[in-house]
Amino acid sequence: MAAELLLYGVKGSPFVRKVEVFLAEKGLAFDIEAVMPFPAPDWFVQLNPAKRIPVLRDRSVGTEGPAGTLPDSSVICAYLERKQPSPALYPQDAWSHARALWYEEFADSELAARIGAGIFRPLVLSRLFGREPDLATARKTLSEDLPPHFDYLEREVEGREFLLDGIYSIADIAVASQFVNLLHAGARVDATRWPGLAAYLSRLHARPSFAACIVAERKVLPKVEALD
Ligand X SMILES: N[C@@H](CCC(=O)N[C@@H](CS)C(=O)NCC(=O)O)C(=O)O
Backbone angles phi, psi at 69, to 5 degrees: -115, 150
State how far the Cα of 119 lies from the Cα of 138, in Å rounded to an integer: 4
Indicate which single residue of 30, 32, 37, 142 sits in contact with ligand X (rule: CB under 6 A): 37
For the bound state, the minimum distance from the C-beta of residue 74 to ligand X, rounded and expressed in Å, comes to 5
For the bound state, the minimum distance from the C-beta of residue 110 to ligand X, rounded and expressed in Å, comes to 13
Residues in the interface with ligand X (CB under 6 A) total 12
74 binds ligand X, rule: CB under 6 A:
yes
178 binds ligand X, rule: CB under 6 A:
no
217 binds ligand X, rule: CB under 6 A:
no
Q: Using alpha carbons only, what angle is made at residue 22 by residues 29 and 182, rounded to the nearest 5 degrees?
A: 125
Instruction: Kindly tell me the sign of the dihedral angle through the C-alpha atoms of 98, 100, 102, 105.
Output: negative
Sites for ligand X among residues 138-157 (CB under 6 A): none
The residue among 15 and 162 lying less far from ligand X, judged by its C-beta, is 15
Nearest to 141 by CA among 174, 125, 117: 117
The DSSP H or E segment spanning 9 is strand 5-9
In the complex, which residues of this chain contact ligand X (CB under 6 A)?
Answer: 13-15, 37, 51-54, 72-74, 108
